[in-house]
Amino acid sequence: MSVAPIPVFRIYLLRHARAAWALPGQSDFDRPLDDLGFADAEILADTAADRGYSPGLVLCSTALRCRQTADAFRRALREDLEIRHVDALYAGAVNVYRDLIAAQADRASLMVVGHNPVIEEILQECLGNEAAACAIPAGYPPGALAVVDFDVPPTGGPLPIGRLADWLDPGVHLA
């Protein structure tokens, strides 16, 4: 049995879990997770913990549904998990996500909790379009987590090509 090499840099790309529709007068920013989203986030976080995943830092959009998703990971992984809430992740484009990731290249691992379509675009950049299309042919579902390993850290500009180490999708049985 071959052992996977220890990556130089690992990124966990987490799209927030399923959110409720906005109530009348409620902003998109303030939409909470719905009941299924809460359950999916808890199951996904528990599965990640069972697999030994432990990001050194979490960068999380300030939108309520992202904060609630990240909180599930804090409960499952460790209470002292450092979560930084970043306003720019709410409406930021790929270059914003890319710059935030590159700024943490000195860490061994980083989780980004954000929104589609940008999370999917970052995954495509990290894997290449063909590999990403094979990994997620139906798109990046709410609450899914991609674990991507790199042999070199990001240095700014386009992210290096990495390899998909794991894919956790709450729409598929997690065990």
Question: Which is the CATH superfamily of the domain at 28-168?
Answer: Phosphoglycerate mutase-like (3.40.50.1240)
Return d(Cα 123, Cα 106) in angstroms, integer.
20
Domain residue ranges in the chain: 28-168
* Phi/psi-derived region of residue 24, left when phi > 0, alpha when psi is between -120 and 50, beta in every other case: beta
Banded pLDDT at 152 (limits 50, 70, 90): very high
Gyration radius from the chain CA atoms = 15
pLDDT of residue 156: 80
pLDDT at residue 172 greater than cutoff 90: no
pLDDT of residue 173: 62
Count of CB atoms within 10 A of residue 53's CB?
Answer: 21
pLDDT of residue 10: 96
Longest pairwise C-alpha distance within the chain: 57
Q: For the segment 99-110, what is each residue's pLDDT rounded down to a tens digit?
A: 999 999 999 999
- The mean-pLDDT minimum among 20-29, 120-129, 142-151 falls in 20-29
Burial of 85 (0-12, 13-18, 19+ CB in 10 A): middle
Q: For the segment 21-75, what is each residue's pLDDT rounded down to a tens digit?
A: 988 888 989 999 999 999 999 999 999 999 999 999 999 999 999 999 999 999 9
Mean pLDDT along residues 14-18:
97
Q: For the segment 111-124, what is each residue's pLDDT rounded down to a tens digit?
A: 999 999 999 999 99
Instruction: Find how far residue 71's CA is from the centre of its chain.
Output: 13
Burial of 94 (0-12, 13-18, 19+ CB in 10 A): middle
pLDDT of residue 15: 97
Banded pLDDT at 3 (limits 50, 70, 90): low
